[in-house]
Amino acid sequence: MLDQFFKLSERGTSIKTEVIAGLTTFLTMSYIIVLNPDVLGMAGMDKGAVFTATIIAAIVGSLIMGLYANYPVVLAPGVGLSAFFTFGVVMGMGHTWEVALGAVFFSGLVFLLISIFKIRQWVIDSIPMTLRYAIAAGIGFFLAIIALKNSGLVVAHPATFVTLGDVTKPESLLTLFGLLSIAILAYRKVIGSVMITIVGITIIALAVGMVEFNGFMSMPPSLEPTYMKLDIAAAFDVAMIGVIFAFLFVDLFDTSGTLIAVAHQGDMLDKDGKLPNMKKAMTADSVATIIGSALGTSTTTSFIESGAGISAGGRTGLTAVVAAGLFLVALFFAPLVSIVPAYATAPALLFVAVLMSAGLAKIDWSDLTEAVPVLVTVLIMTFTFSIVQGIAFGFIAYMVMKVFTGQASVLSSGVYVVSALFIAKFIFL
Q: Does residue 209 register a pLDDT over 80?
A: yes
Alpha-helix residue ranges (DSSP H) falling in 188-316: 193-207, 232-235, 241-265, 278-295, 306-311
The reported pLDDT for the residue numbered 326 is 96
- What 8-state DSSP symbol labels residue 66? I
153 within 8 A of 172, measured Cβ to Cβ = yes
The reported pLDDT for the residue numbered 267 is 78
Residue 154 — φ and ψ, nearest 5°? Answer: -125, 130
| Cα 182 to Cα 272: distance, rounded to the nearest angstrom | 37
- Per-domain residue ranges for the chain? 12-152+217-428
Which band of pLDDT confidence, cut at 50, 70 and 90, is reported for residue 426? confident
| Cα 241 to Cα 169: distance, rounded to the nearest angstrom | 42
State mean pLDDT over 164-177: 92
32 within 8 A of 77, measured Cβ to Cβ = yes
What percentage of the chain carries pLDDT values higher than 90?
56
Residue 333 — φ and ψ, nearest 5°? Answer: -115, 35
Q: Does residue 254 register a pLDDT over 90?
A: no
416-425 long-range Cβ contacts below 8 angstroms, 24+ apart: 418/127, 419/395, 421/241, 421/245, 422/242, 422/391, 422/392, 422/395, 422/396, 423/396, 425/241, 425/242, 425/392
Q: Does residue 272 register a pLDDT over 70?
A: no
- The sign of the dihedral angle between the CA atoms of 364, 365, 366, 372 is positive
Please name the residues in contact with 105: beta carbons below 8 A apart, sequence gap of 6 or more.
Answer: 230, 232, 235, 289, 290, 293, 294
| Cα 106 to Cα 99: distance, rounded to the nearest angstrom | 11
Q: How many other CB atoms sit within 10 Å of the CB of residue 91?
A: 14
pTM of the model: 0.84
C-alpha dihedral (92, 94, 95, 100), degrees to nearest 10: 10
Mean pLDDT of the chain: 90
Q: Does residue 253 register a pLDDT over 80?
A: no
C-alpha dihedral (199, 202, 203, 206), degrees to nearest 10: -160
Give the helix/strand (H/E) hosting 164.
strand 161-164
